[in-house]
Amino acid sequence: MLREQSTMVLKPGEEPRVLFVCKGSMHDGMGHVIRSRTVALQMKSRAHVELVVIGPDYVGGLLEDKGLEYRVVSRQGEALAACRRFKPHLVVFDLTHLDKRMFGALAKDAATVSLSPIFNYLNAVDVVFHRTSIEDPKWSHLRRPPTVRCGLQYAVIGDHCHKISDQTYSDTLERSRLSVAVSMGGTDAANKTLEVIATLRGIKRRMLLWVLLGEGYDHSYHDLVDRARGAKHEIILAKTNDSMWHILSTCALAVLAGGTTTYQAAYAGLPSINTLETPNDYFLIQELVDKGLCLCAGDDFDTSLSRLNELVTGFDENRSGLLAMHRRSKSLLDGKGASRIVDETLALVGVPSVSGGERSKVTAE
C-alpha cells in the first residue's frame, strides 16, 4: 500500500514554488548539484524555482550563468533560513543527510521529493526518483520503505552530454593508441585519480590517457605529474566542468567511480570500467552492468585497482567488444529523465501533466 502523500494543492492561477536543497563538497562530490541543476533547468519554465546548495563557495561555479536563482551556504542553519523565506509548495532534496530539525521544518507545509537514492529521510518523503530498477537492499529493512518511482527512464542526463555517433566511435577505435579517460568525480576527496594513474602507467601497450579533474579537485597537480612522469603513455591533465564531454566524446573507454558520469557515459555510448568504494554501492550501477553497458572492476577500490590493467588491456586487444558495448547503449537511455521527474513532481501539487507518458514501476511498503 502506498503511503499517504502530501495534500498540498495550488490555488487557482498560483505559480508553484519549488525549492531544491542539495549538497556539494569534497566528501559528497558534485553529482547531487549537477543532477539538481539539470532538473531545475527543466522545471523553471513551469514553476518559480530556487536552489539552496550547502557547500563551499566554488560549488557556485556549477550554477552561475545558467539562468537559475540560487544561493550557496556553508551550514544547514543558513539553508533553513533561506528556505523559510521562500515558502515552497514543493521541496526537492538531493543529498545524503539532513538534520531532523531542518527536514521537519521543510516537510511540514510542502510536498517532498528525493532525487538521491541515499538519503536519511527516504522513508519520509512523498516520492523517491531512482534511476535504476535495482533497489538498495537496505530499503527492505526500513520500518517504512520509501515510495519509489524507478527505472532507467528516470536517469537524469544533462544537456552538456551528447550521444556519440557510430561513425565517430568507430573512427576513435581505429586509432593506434586506445584513448582512455579517467574521471573519479568532481572532487575525488580520496585522490583516487592518483592511484589510478599509478596503476595504468604499468600497462605495456601505449595509450592516450585523458585525466579529467573536476571543479572541486583540491589535490596537488604536481603529484599527478610526478606519478605520470616516465610513463610510455601520453597523459593529458584537464580541469573540466561541462566541457568534459567534449573530451569524453573523443575517447574509446572511461575509468569511472560509478556515479553520475557512469549514467552519462551509458547514455552517450561510451563504455566504462567502474571502481566502487564498497559492495554496498553496486546496486547503483548493477542494471547497467547487467545490460552490458559497462563493467564493474571489483567489489571495492583496492580490488578494482588489482584488475584494472587486465581489463583495459583486454579491451585494447579486443576493440570489437568496445564497439558492441557502444551499440547496446543506443536505445536504453533516452535522456528524458529530467522531464519525466519534473512532470511527476509537479503533479504532486496539482499541476497537470504535459508529457502524457506512462509512469514506470512504483514500489512502496
pLDDT digits (tens, 9 = 90+) for 121-180: 999 999 999 999 999 998 988 878 889 999 999 999 998 899 999 999 999 999 999 999
What's the whole-number average pLDDT of the chain?
A: 90
Burial of 271 by CB count in 10 Å (0-12 exposed, 13-18 middle, 19+ buried)?
buried
Residue pLDDT, tens place only, 42-87: 999 999 999 999 999 888 888 998 999 999 998 888 888 877 888 8
238 DSSP β-pair partners: 212
- What is the rounded average pLDDT of the residues 298-322? 96
Looking at the chain, the number of H-run helices and the number of E-run strands are: 12, 14
25 secondary structure, DSSP code: B
pLDDT at 12: 77
How far, in Å, are 31, 192, 224, 311, 313 from residue 185 at the CA level? 8, 9, 16, 21, 23
- CATH number of the domain at 166-328, please? 3.40.50.2000
C-alpha cell at 339: 522531464
Band of the pLDDT at 360, cuts 50, 70, 90?
low
Residue 164: half-sphere exposure toward Cβ, Cα within 13 Å: 29
The residues spanned by each domain of the chain are 17-158+335-363, 166-328
C-alpha cell at 8: 498540498
SS3 27: coil
Residue pLDDT, tens place only, 206-230: 999 999 987 778 888 889 888 888 7
Q: Which CATH superfamily is domain 17-158+335-363 in?
A: Glycogen Phosphorylase B; (3.40.50.2000)
pTM: 0.91
d(CA 348, CA 8) in angstroms, rounded, equals 7
**CB atoms closer than 10 angstroms to residue 222:** 8
Contact 129, 114 (CB under 8 A): yes
d(CA 73, CA 94) in angstroms, rounded, equals 15
Q: What sign has the CA pseudo-torsion 246, 252, 257, 261?
A: positive
d(CA 271, CA 267) in angstroms, rounded, equals 10
d(CA 220, CA 197) in angstroms, rounded, equals 14
Band of the pLDDT at 355, cuts 50, 70, 90?
low
Backbone angles phi and psi of 290, in degrees to 5 = -60, -35
Contact 68, 49 (CB under 8 A): yes
| CB burial string 190-203: b at 16+ within 10 A, e below | bbbbbbbbebbbeb
Helix (H) or strand (E) holding 78: helix 76-86
In CATH terms, are 17-158+335-363 and 166-328 the same topology?
yes
Q: Angle at CA 301, nearest 5°, toward 300 and 306?
A: 105
